[in-house]
């Protein structure tokens, strides 16, 4: 039987994607910061093509404090943090980015604070006195502050930095809330606070955000979309699935693409209406598929041959949905209903069908790795 001296007290969860150059420096910095504590580090790697997971496995052969959870077919920082915590048995878990921009030296203070003050969460803040944004550009700082203000719509606490990805949480606190988490995008701390029905006992500690030393930033143009989806999920997710909302928004853009294509072909080519309509339908379906693959189902994004097969199943499903749309709308219109309500009813039926079928056959739920 292991003695109390061998029982892990703290699990540090590090989500990674193409962080090969940062793995060894991260482990060395954690060892320096937590050397006197009973700790482990769990890297949750989203199948990095640069071999991050294989590198960590080699290190784990020599250091039992190091583990890796390699995920295949799914991506996302928040969901990675959730799976990492679930893979741990330690009473306390910390989440820190794999890019070395968070101050790992603060972890020991976080652990001491969360235990001595009997807190649920201790988070690093760039906005309390003593913290800072490092060499951030003014435009990025403004975006961060705007996102913080928007978070007030779903937050149940007066956090100065709800966008922080650097925090420590008590396992019992996480387990009470884990089934309510959205797991969308990058902002897992915001997700935890917004998913809590009762107030959390928390404290924020200042830290200075550091510059990335190696690798590339994971914050691309879609981060804002994912943040919007997270907020939307917390506001109306209990009423309607946020993926369906995103699917519908993309469908709205598809209508514009369809109408624009018909207009261009009728006005600038010699095409007949039937040809224009058919071409527009195919183009709109393809654009909808591409946008849904990038936005609505980013965590299950299809690539390569899978993209082609997905496009085929999406097009077939939407074709059936279009027939259902027309049939329902025609039936309702013949019941002396206005064309507006008849058309709207057809659109709703078609949208629900397309979402339901493509979510099962086009973007299949990933199998556990």
Q: Does one domain contain both 106 and 142?
A: yes
Give the chain's residues under pLDDT 70.
Answer: 1-6, 134-141, 144, 211-222, 336-337, 339-340, 343-344, 365-369
Last residue in a domain, options 221, 256, 275:
221
Q: Are residues 363 and 300 in contact, defined by beta-carbon separation less than 8 angstroms?
A: yes
Q: Decide if 335 is inside a domain.
A: yes
Q: Does one domain contain both 206 and 81?
A: yes
Q: Decide if 8 is inside a domain.
A: yes
Q: Does one domain contain both 261 and 167?
A: no
Q: For 93-152, how does the pLDDT look when each residue is reduced to its tens digit (9 = 90+)?
A: 999 988 888 889 999 999 999 999 999 999 999 888 887 876 666 666 677 677 777 777
Q: Does one domain contain both 291 and 322?
A: yes
Q: Decide if 229 is inside a domain.
A: no
Task: Report pLDDT for 216.
Answer: 53
Q: Decide if 106 is inside a domain.
A: yes
Q: Are residues 167 and 96 in contact, defined by beta-carbon separation less than 8 angstroms?
A: no
- From CA 265, how far away is CA 9, in angstroms rounded? 67
Q: Decide if 339 is inside a domain.
A: yes
Closest CA to 44 of 11, 16, 25, 85: 16
Residue with tokens 């921009």: 101
Task: Please classify residue 135 by burial: count the beta carbons closer than 10 Å to its beta carbon, then call 0-12 exposed, 13-18 middle and 19+ buried.
Answer: exposed
Task: Report pLDDT for 132.
Answer: 81
Q: Are residues 40 and 334 in contact, defined by beta-carbon separation less than 8 angstroms?
A: no
Q: Does one domain contain both 259 and 325?
A: yes
Q: Which domain holds residue 256?
A: 242-361
Q: Does one domain contain both 188 and 247?
A: no
Indicate the DSSP class of residue 204. E
Task: Report pLDDT for 136.
Answer: 61
**Three state DSSP letters for 4-17:** HHHCCCEEEEEEEC
Task: Report pLDDT for 290.
Answer: 94
Q: Does one domain contain both 159 and 60?
A: yes
Q: Does one domain contain both 199 and 253?
A: no
Which neighbouring-strand residues pair with 45? 16, 70
Q: Does one domain contain both 133 and 20?
A: yes
Q: Does one domain contain both 81 and 172?
A: yes
Q: Decide if 233 is inside a domain.
A: no
Q: Decide if 99 is inside a domain.
A: yes
Q: Are residues 357 and 318 in contact, defined by beta-carbon separation less than 8 angstroms?
A: no
Q: Does one domain contain both 247 and 172?
A: no
Q: Does one domain contain both 136 and 67?
A: yes
Task: Report pLDDT for 101.
Answer: 85
Q: How many domains does the chain have?
A: 2
Task: Report pLDDT for 276.
Answer: 81
Task: Report pLDDT for 1.
Answer: 45
Q: Decide if 307 is inside a domain.
A: yes
């Amino acid at each position: 039987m292991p003695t109390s001296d061998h029982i892990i007290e703290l699990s540090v969860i590090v989500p990674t994607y193409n962080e090969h150059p940062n793995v060894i420096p991260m482990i060395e910095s954690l060892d320096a910061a937590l050397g006197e504590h009973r700790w482990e580090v769990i890297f949750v790697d989203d199948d990095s093509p640069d071999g991050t997971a294989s590198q960590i496995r080699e290190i784990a052969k020599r250091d039992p404090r190091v583990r890796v959870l390699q995920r295949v077919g799914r991506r996302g920082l928040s969901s990675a943090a959730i799976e990492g915590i679930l893979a741990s048995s330690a009473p306390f878990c910390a989440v820190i980015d794999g890019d070395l921009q968070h101050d790992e030296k603060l972890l020991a203070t976080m652990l001491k604070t969360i235990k001595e003050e009997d807190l649920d969460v201790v988070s690093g803040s760039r906005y309390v006195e003593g913290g800072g944004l490092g060499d951030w550009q003014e435009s990025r700082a403004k975006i961060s502050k705007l996102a913080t203000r928007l978070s007030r719509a779903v937050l149940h606490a007066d956090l100065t930095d709800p966008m922080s990805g650097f925090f420590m949480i008590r396992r019992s606190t996480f387990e009470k809330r884990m089934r309510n988490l959205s797991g969308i995008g990058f902002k897992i701390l915001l997700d935890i606070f917004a998913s809590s029905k009762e107030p959390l006992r928390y404290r924020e500690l200042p830290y200075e955000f550091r510059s990335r030393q190696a690798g590339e930033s994971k914050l691309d143009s879609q981060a804002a979309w994912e943040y919007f989806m997270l907020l939307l999920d917390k506001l109306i997710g209990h009423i309607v699935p946020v993926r369906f909302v995103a699917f519908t928004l993309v469908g709205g853009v598809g209508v514009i693409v369809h109408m624009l294509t018909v207009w261009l072909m009728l006005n600038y080519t010699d095409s007949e209406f039937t040809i224009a309509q058919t071409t527009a339908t195919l183009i709109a379906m393809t654009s909808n598929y591409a946008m849904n693959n990038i936005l609505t189902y980013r965590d299950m994004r299809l690539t390569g041959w899978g993209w082609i097969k997905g496009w085929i199943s999406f097009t077939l499903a939407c074709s059936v949905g279009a027939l259902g749309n027309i049939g329902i709308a025609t039936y309702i219109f013949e019941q002396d209903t206005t064309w507006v309500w008849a058309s709207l009813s057809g659109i709703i039926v078609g949208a629900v069908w397309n979402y339901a079928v493509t979510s099962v056959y086009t973007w299949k739920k990933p199998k556990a790795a």
